[in-house]
Chain A
Amino acid sequence: MNFELTDEQTTIKKAAREFCEKEFTPELALEFDEKEEFPMELYRKAAKLGFTSMRFPEEYGGQGYGVLEDCLVTEEMCRVDPGLGVAVTLGTLMFPDGLLKHGTEEQRRRYIPPLCTGEKICAAAFSEPEHGSDITRMDTIAKKGGNKWVINGSKEFITNAPFADFFCVLCQTDLKVTPSHRGESLFAIDRGTPGLDVTKLNGKMGIKPCVTGSLSLSDVKIPETNLIGELNKGFYYALELFDGTRIAVAAEAVGMAQGALERALNYAKERKQFGSPIIQFQGVSFKLAEMAMKIETARLITYKAAWLYDQGKMDPMITAMAKAYASRVAMDVTDEAIQIHGGYGYLADYHVERFHRCAKITEIYEGTTEIQKLTIIRSLLKRGFS
C-alpha cells in the first residue's frame, strides 16, 4: 500500500495551485459570485495550460492523465475559490468522456480537440423538470424520421447550457419497452441547431460563476450519426459517466473544505478576544482539529475512488461513499469556518460564507446524497464482507 502522490502528481497539484492563487483573486471571486456569469477569459487561460483536459488522451489534444490527476486540479481550484473553481473545471463535463467510451472515431475527432483547447465548451443534459434523481424514464423524446432524429422535450439545471457549443442529451427512443430505461439513448447536439432554445437560470445559492440553464427542444433535427454509442443504451452510459463525475464532485468538496479550513485557521490565529487569539480557546481549536480530521478522511476516500477508477477497478460503492461523505464534510467544515469567523464570517468580504453556499451543491448534483446511499446499500446487500 502506498499513500504517496508521485512527484508528477505533486507537481501537477502545485502548478494548479500556483495558477489559481494568482488568477482567482478575491476581487474576481466576489465579482463573479455577484454577476452570476461564466468567467470565460479565465476558463480559456486554464484550458491553454491544460488544466481542463487532464483526463483526455493526448491524441485528442488532452493531457493523458487519469481521474486522480484531474481530481488534484479540481481540488486545488475549489480550494482557492469554490465558485470560479467549479466553473473552470466543468467546461469539459461528461461529453468527451461519453465519446471516448462509446463514440465513433469521427465523433471524437470532431468534438474533443476543441474542448481540450478551451475554444468550445460542452454540456451534459440528463435532468428534466419531472425527472431528477430518477432518470429511468425521459420525457424528452427522439423519433426517427427518415435519416434524421427529431427531438422534442425539455431539460432542466443544465450546467454551461447558456453558452455551450455541444450538448449530449439523454432521450427516450423506445416508449414501449419495460423497464423504460432500456429505451433511452444519448445524442450529440450542436448549438444553433434549429429548435434548440436555452434560457439562463438565475438566483442559485452558490457556484454562481458556473452558469446553469434550461433547454427546450422542439422538433430539433439531427443526423443519424449524432447518436452516441448504441441505440437504447443511453441510461447505462449515463450511470457509467456518473461513476467518474461523482469522484470529481467529491474532489470539489474536499477542495472547498480545505479552503475554508485554511481561512478559519488563519483567522483564529489573528482574531483576539478576552485578551488572546481565539485559537487559544479549546472550543475553537478543537473545531479546527475536527475540521482537519474530516477533510483528511474525505480526501483519502476520494483519492481511493479515483485510484480505483484509474486502475480499471472502479467501485460504485466507494465512489458513492466518497461523494456522499466528502460533500457532507464540505458542508460541516464550511459551516464551522463561518462560526469561527463570528459575525465577520457572515459577510461576503470574509469569503467563508461563499464557501458554505457553494459547498451545498456537492450534496445535490451528480446524484443527491440519498441516491449515493441507495448505491451503497445496494452494494452492501449484493456483496458479502470479506
Chain B
Amino acid sequence: MNIIICVKHVPETAEAEIAIHSSGKKIKTEDLVFDINEWDNYALEEAVQLKEKHEGSVTAITVGSEAADSTLRKCLARGADKAIRLTDKAFEGSDSYVIARILHKVIQDLPFELILTGAQAGDDGYAQVGVVLAELLGIPHATMVKKVEPLKGFVKVNRELEGGLEEIMEVKLPALLATQTGINEPRYISIMGIRKAMKKEIQVLSLKDVGLTEEEVGESGSWITVEKMFIPPVEKKAEILTGGVDEITTKVVETLRGKGLI
C-alpha cells in the first residue's frame, strides 16, 4: 500500500507566550519552537504502521520553507521512505485552498492508494486542506479518523463524533483520511532512524515544478484573506450559583461540560 502523508511544520503555541505580528494578521514566530503538527504526527505513525503491515511505501509532503526540513527529517527518521518539500516565495500567504491545490498538482502524478493528513493544523486550525485536496483529486475522504483497517479495495475507518459517539464506515480506495490525535502511539525517533534519514535526500520543488502560475498561489490565489488577528482580552466573569446542593452540582457539571473541561 503506497501512502502519502501531508505534514505541516508549525510553531508550538500551546504553552508559549504569543505576540501578534506588526501586520496584525499573524502571530510572531521568531521565538517560537517549530515541530511537526501534532495531528500529522499521528498520521505519520499510522502511515508507517500500515506500511509495516501491508508493505508499500510512505511519502511525506509539506508546503513550507527550508526550516520544514526538520519535520520532514522526522518523518524519514520514523519510517517514511521519501520526502518532498514544496517551497517558493510565491507560496507565502496561501490559504488552505491554495495549499490543497499545490499539493494536488504534485500528488496527482504520484502513485498512491491512501493519503493521510492530520484532521487539522495546530496553528491555524482550519481543518480544510485534507478535505479540499480530496475533492480536487476526486477521491473520497473521511475526517476525524480514529481507526484505519485496509481491506480489499476499501478501508474500514472509525470516525470520532461529538459526545463520544463513533461511526464506522467503508471508504473506497484510493481515499484520503484526516486522522484524529490518539489514533495510535507515535514511536520515538531512534538514532538508527536519524542515521537513515540523513542519508536520504529531500526533494525540493518550486512553483515552476508544480505547474501553477504566480497568480494562482499566495494571497492572490486564495479565496480567504485574514483581516485581523488578536488576543481576546481576558474577561473576568464570575457567576454565583444558588440553590440546593444537587442543583448547584448539576449547574457546575453543565458549565464545565459546556466549556469542554470535562
Contacts and interface: CB of A to CB of B under 8 A. Distances in A.
B186 to A, nearest CB: 10
B188 A11 contact: no
Interface string A15-50: 100110010000000000000000000000000111
Contacts of A4: none
User: Most chain-A CB neighbours within 10 Å: which of B190, B192, B194, B195?
Assistant: B194
Given A11-B77, A11-B189, 12 more contacts: A11-B73, A11-B194, A14-B189, A15-B194, A19-B188, A19-B189, A49-B188, A50-B190, A51-B191, A54-B191, A63-B195, A65-B191
B188 A12 contact: no
A49 B73 contact: no
Interface in B190-212: 190-192, 194-195, 197-198
B192 to A, nearest CB: 5
Interface in B26-59: none
A8 interface: yes
Contacts of B195: 63-64
The main secondary structure of chain A at its interface with chain B is helix
A202 interface: no
A105 interface: no
A10 interface: yes
Contacts of A7: 69-70, 73, 198
30 contacts: A7-B69, A7-B73, A8-B194, A8-B198, A11-B73, A11-B74, A11-B77, A11-B189, A11-B194, A11-B198, A12-B191, A12-B194, A14-B70, A14-B189, A15-B189, A15-B190, A18-B189, A19-B189, A22-B188, A49-B188, A49-B189, A49-B192, A50-B190, A51-B191, A53-B191, A54-B191, A63-B192, A63-B195, A64-B195, A65-B191
Contacts of B69: 7
B70 A49 contact: no
Contacts of B189: 11, 14-15, 18-19, 49
B87 to A, nearest CB: 16
Contacts of B70: 7, 10-11, 14
A50 B73 CA distance: 17
Interface string B163-191: 00000000000000000000000001111
Nearest to B35: A14
A233 B24 CA distance: 69
User: Most chain-B CB neighbours within 10 Å: which of A10, A18, A22, A54?
Assistant: A18
A385 B195 CA distance: 41
A19 B189 CA distance: 8
A11 B196 CA distance: 12
Interface string A229-269: 00000000000000000000000000000000000000000
Contacts of B74: 11
Given A8-B198, A11-B70, A63-B195, A48 B190 contact: yes
A12 B194 CA distance: 7
B183 to A, nearest CB: 17
Contacts of B194: 8, 11-12, 15
Contact of A63 (B73, B77, B188, B191): B191
A254 B212 CA distance: 50
Contacts of B192: 49-50, 63
A11 to B, nearest CB: 5
A14 B197 CA distance: 14
B188 A15 contact: yes
A364 to B, nearest CB: 30
Nearest to B191: A50
Nearest to B73: A11
A65 to B, nearest CB: 8
A49 B191 contact: yes
A11 B71 CA distance: 10
A50 B194 CA distance: 10
Nearest to B190: A49
A55 to B, nearest CB: 11
Name the 5 nearest CB pairs between A and B, nearest first.
A50-B191, A15-B189, A49-B190, A63-B191, A19-B188
Contacts of A54: 191
B121 to A, nearest CB: 20
Nearest to A69: B191
Contacts of A8: 194, 198
A63 B195 CA distance: 8
B189 to A, nearest CB: 4
